[in-house]
Amino acid sequence: MSNGLIVSISGPSGVGKGTVIAKLREMLPDCRHSISVTSRDPRGEEKDGVEYYFRTREEFERLIAEGEIIEYDQYVGNYYGTPLTPLITMSGKGQDVLLDLTVAGSLALKEKFEETVTIFLLPPSLKELRNRLTGRGTESEELVDKRMGQAKKEIADAPKFDYVVTNDSVEQAAEEIAAIMLAEHGRFKRRSETVEKLLAE
């Protein structure tokens, strides 16, 4: 049996990554989600071990030193990282794993695990991205400008990803990602055993 896919999805803040991933998980119930470790505080109803493993900065740094964090990044002053063991275990059992990482995080993971499938989620336009950021109603004009500047820098890294998907409609973006995953399963290296078995008949 071949390993499950490791699929890392990134995109600028406000692009709707969380919503697309939630839709995708609904469409692909057998798909697993990598639970990250973070040093940020839980928000609202978030529970340890569900949305994230919530740890102190010191505990996080210890996990890095122990080699338990395969990639990590800092976002708004907090650490976020992918724990190694669960990722290897799930993929080794043939389960597809979805990751929601910063742009730098996806690229770092690909460096470590070349087979990682990286997907960049784009907004339909910068104007629409600004609308989505403003629509949240929680951020000042100045902060929205800052996030737009950051978004442009991140979009400049899109050519380093394997795939680019535009989030025009959540349903369509999720379907496109599901189609990418289906195609990735058909790659020769994942089907080599099947071919060998046929040839041995």
Residues in contact with ligand 5GP by the rule CB under 6 A:
36, 40, 71-73, 75, 80-82, 100-102, 105
Cα–Cα dist 82/70, whole Å: 6
CB 72 within 8 A of CB 81: yes
73 or 96: CB nearest ligand 5GP:
73
5 or 20: CB nearest ligand 5GP:
20
Quote the DSSP letter at residue 124.
S
CB 118 within 8 A of CB 107: yes
**Minimum distance from CB of 44 to ligand 5GP (Å)?**
11
41 or 201: CB nearest ligand 5GP:
41
First to last CA, the chain: 19
Q: Which of 101, 133, 95 is nearest to 119 (CA)?
A: 101
How distant is the alpha carbon of residue 145 from its chain centre? 24
Comparing every residue's Cβ against ligand 5GP, the nearest one is: 105
**Minimum distance from CB of 164 to ligand 5GP (Å)?**
17
Quote the DSSP letter at residue 161.
S
**Minimum distance from CB of 128 to ligand 5GP (Å)?**
18
**Minimum distance from CB of 15 to ligand 5GP (Å)?**
10
Cα–Cα dist 171/129, whole Å: 18
4 or 81: CB nearest ligand 5GP:
81
**Minimum distance from CB of 17 to ligand 5GP (Å)?**
6
27 or 64: CB nearest ligand 5GP:
64
Mention every residue, 6+ apart, whose C-beta is less than 8 A from residue 135. none
